[in-house]
Every structure is written in C-alpha cells, then in structure tokens.
Amino acid sequence: METINSISNMTELSANWRREGLSIALVPTMGYFHEGHLALMRMARTEADRVVVSLFVNPSQFGPGEDLERYPRDLERDARLARDQGVDCLFCPSAEEMYLPGFQTWISVERLSQGLCGASRPGHFRGVATVVAKLFNITCPDIAVFGQKDFQQLRIIQRMVKDLNMPIDIMAHPIVREPDGLAMSSRNSYLSKEERRSAVSLYQALMRAKEMVADGIRSGQDIIQAVREHILSYANTEIDYIFLGDPEELKEYREVHGKTLLALAVWVGETRLIDNMLLVQ
Ligand code: PAF
C-alpha cells in the first residue's frame, strides 16, 4: 500500500490507473479507523480494481468550539489497518494544500443540509460537500463508499453527485454496531465508562420505536415521546434532535407511512452521538 500526501501525486496515480483501464473506488474518511471504516474498505475492495482511502480531518466541516483539535488521530495504526484490508493507496493531504490561501469556492446542497444535523451544526454540510467534491476531483473514482450512520451526509452526497453530473456511483454500507448495538464511531473514544453505558440508549430507543411500529403504532408524536423518555432515563444524556420522516427528502412525517426513517442526535456528556434506523423499509 502506498501512502500519498501530495495532491499532484494522487492525481497522477489515479490518472495512470485509469489509463490502464482499472476502476477506482474511494472511501473518504477522517481516520481513527474502527470496524465500520474497515467494512467500507472491504466493500470498496469487492467493487473496484483499485481502492483509495482518503484520511483527512477536514477543518471546514467543524464549527467554532467543536472537536477539530481533539479529534482522535493515529496515522500509524490506520495505515496498518488499511493495508490489512487490501487498500492500494492511503491519501493523506495536508489542510494547507487542500485549502490554499484565498480559497473561496463552496458547494452547498441547500435544502437537504438545513434540518437534522445541519440545524445544530451550521456550515457543517457545506464543508463536507466541498471536501468530498475535492476528493472526487483529485482521485477520479468510479465508486465512492459511505456509511449509513451519517444518513443525512449520504443523502447530501447522493444529491450533489446527481445535481453536478459527477460520474460516480455512491454506495452505502449499513451501520456497523458494537455487540450491545452502539453504532461504531471514532467519537466513541471520547466516552467515559459511565457515558459508554448511557450511549447504548440510542440504539435501544431506535429498537423500541421499531417495535412500536410493528405493534401498529403510527403516531410520530407517540414514537418520538417514547424515544425521548427512553434516552433521558440514562445519565448524562441530552437530546439534540429526534427526526421521524421521509428517508429520501428528509421531510418530517406526523405519522409513519411508507418508508420511514428515525434519526437521532444525542449529547452523552460532552460527546454528540448520532444514529438512525429505517422503521419501515
Ligand atoms: O464521514 C466522514 O468521515 C466525513 O464527513 C467525510 C465524508 C470523510 C468528509 O470529511
């Protein structure tokens, strides 16, 4: 596996592969790999001749006071794990090269970025869409693989690719969970022992909502109330949002009908966790 830092070297390697007729899959990440990332890499490995994993803690998607500085990093371990998954290239650009002085071009996927995480993290999805578009331009992939834990992000990237005619297949990988159901996330490493016990409340609440729907309950208000009560019964939890709605357009429903997504963001101590589940597929 090659590790590349410079943008021109990455572009050259991708261009060479394409000239040889090889297909490329990109897995965009911010590093500190866990089993969820490795599953994305394995999916990419089965879909293309060459796999690039980008590792870049993107400053433009962090707001003031967020965790950019303390975001966990371990490049040596990440490189070892990526190599073990058969990744061909780990692309780790610098923030200085990604955002040259005078940088002022942004991609904003407007309506889809407004609610859910976009409401409490203004500018976040503008940073995500912009860096992903840059990574697409640099690595020229045929396929890019994203996890479904960041459901809104996935929808935004799908929309961007469609709206801007980017010839890239976006593949979604199901959420990878710990044995007790907690969705894997690099940010889980922030949790204390006690917070880790509370963190499982998100998954439990999603499962509780799924059971309610299976029992014939349709009222969004009743489901959201049950989810809220379950999460708040755990120590150190504070709800950012509970969204029940259409998984395509991310519009809220009053009642469960057709495909229905339940998505959550919850503060557990100082750590903001997200999770989601399709209540009706
Ligand atoms: O999901 C992430 O890790 C990031 O938002 C992404 C897609 C790598 C963009 O920085």
pLDDT, tens digit, for every residue of 224-261? 999 999 999 999 999 999 999 999 999 999 999 899 99
Q: 210 and 242 in one domain? A: yes
Nearest to 138 by CA among 28, 58, 237, 42: 28
> Cα–Cα distance between 62 and 52 in angstroms, integer?
24
Output the pLDDT for position 124: 98
Q: What is the 3-state secondary structure (H, E, C) of 107-176?
A: CCCCHHHCCHHHHHCCCHHHHHHHHHHHHHHHHCCCEEEEECCCHHHHHHHHHHHHHCCCCCEEEEECCC
Please indicate, yes or no, if residue 105 is contained in any of the structural domains: yes
Please report whether residue 239 resides in a domain: yes
Burial (Cβ within 10 Å: 0-12, 13-18, ≥19) of residue 183 = buried
- Please check the confidence at residue 107 and state whether its pLDDT lies above 90: yes
**100 and 152 inside one domain:** yes
Domain boundary among 145, 173, 201: 173
For residue range 198-216, what is the model confidence (pLDDT) as tens digits?
999 999 999 999 999 999 9
Query: Is position 37 annotated as part of the catalytic site?
Result: yes
Same domain, 267 and 140: no
Q: How many residues does the chain have?
A: 281
Ligand 1 mean position, distance from CA 5 (Å)? 18
- Residue 157 belongs to some domain of the structure: yes
147 lines ligand 1 (CB under 6 A): no
pLDDT of 281 over the 90 cut: no
Same domain? For 148 and 241 the reply is no
- Ligand 1 near 274 CB (within 6 A): no
Q: Nearest-CA neighbor of 3 among 76, 65, 74?
A: 76
Is the minimum distance from the CB of 185 to ligand 1 under 6 angstroms?
Answer: no
Predicted local distance difference test score (pLDDT) of residue 49:
98
Give the pLDDT score at 110.
98
Same domain, 221 and 103: no
In 157-251, DSSP assigns E strands to 169-173, 237-245
- Strand 169-173 to 143-147 pairing: parallel
Q: Pick the catalytic residue: 34, 37, 124, 230?
A: 37
Residue 267 structure tokens? 């503060």
Tokens of 222: 């009743």
Would the pLDDT of 33 be above 90? yes
Residue nearest to atom 1 of ligand 1 (CA): 29
Q: Are residues 153 and 262 in the same domain?
A: no
Give yes or no: residues 250 and 272 share one domain: yes
What is the number of structural domains in the chain?
Answer: 2
Residue 180 lies in a domain: no
Q: Could you identify the atom of ligand 1 that is nearest to the CA of residue 186?
A: 3
- The continuous run of DSSP H or E covering 86 comes out as none
pLDDT > 70: what percent of the chain? 100
In the DSSP assignment, the letter for residue 31 is S
What CATH code is carried by the domain that includes residue 154?
3.40.50.620
Residue 258 lies in a domain: yes
Is residue 131 in contact with ligand 1, taking CB distance under 6 Å?
Answer: yes
- The alpha carbon of 223 and the centre of ligand 1 are apart by a number of angstroms equal to 30
Per cent of the chain over pLDDT 90 is: 99
| Domain-embedded: residue 181 | no
99 and 121 part of one domain: yes
Give the ligand 1 atom nearest the CA of 57.
Answer: 10
Which DSSP helix (H) or strand (E) runs through 44?
Answer: helix 35-47
Considering the domain boundaries, does residue 178 fall inside one?
no
Q: Which domain holds residue 221?
A: 186-280
Distance (Å) from CA 8 to ligand 1 centroid: 21
